[in-house]
Amino acid sequence: MRKSVFLLGFGIAVTPASAFAQPVGGGGPADAGAAVKSASIGTPGAASGDAMTQYLQQKSLNNLPGQKAADAAASKLGPARAAKPDELTAGATVNDKTGIAIAKIEQVDPDGIVVSTGLAKVKVPKEAFGHNKAGLLLDMTKAQFEQVVASANVGH
């Protein structure tokens, strides 16, 4: 029995400490995203509101593809301000933040503005509209807007 205890003690003494270390914060594939618990961020793959809400959440986290390049292009168009209610009229062109036309206002409803790309429609909150030297705008790139429209029109 002494021999067994001695060998066990010897084995522990020569085994590197890293063999007994626990990884801090997980890090394995099963733990990917496990640190994200906030209900306001949403769960990957789960519907957490409409597409515009998801976009605004990602924008607030500055987690949008091409954000910095688009921000630089938008700075040439002057500062943006909130769009005034009389600027949100049917037929008005809506630009992305770089000045590219992305949609037209189709109708103004009390609960939002319906914009049309010609192929699809999406309702956007009035608060999402801004105005700069190029006119009405949504604070996203054309590609980001197309993603929002596509996800809003899935199954319609």
| Domains and their CATH numbers in the chain | 49-156 (2.30.30.240)
- Which of 112, 109, 102, 91 shows the shortest CA–CA distance to 134? 102
Beta strands in the chain (DSSP E): 81-82, 93-95, 101-109, 112-116, 121-124, 129-132, 135-138
In whole angstroms, what is the distance from residue 121 CA to residue 114 CA? 7
Q: Tell me the mean pLDDT in the region 126-141.
A: 93
Which residues make beta-bridge pairs with 116? 104, 121
Q: How confident is the model at residue 78 (pLDDT cuts 50, 70, 90)?
A: confident
pLDDT of residue 80: 87
Place of tokens 């009229």: 89
Non-local (6+) Cβ contacts of 112 within 8 A are 123, 124, 125, 126
pTM, to two decimals:
0.54
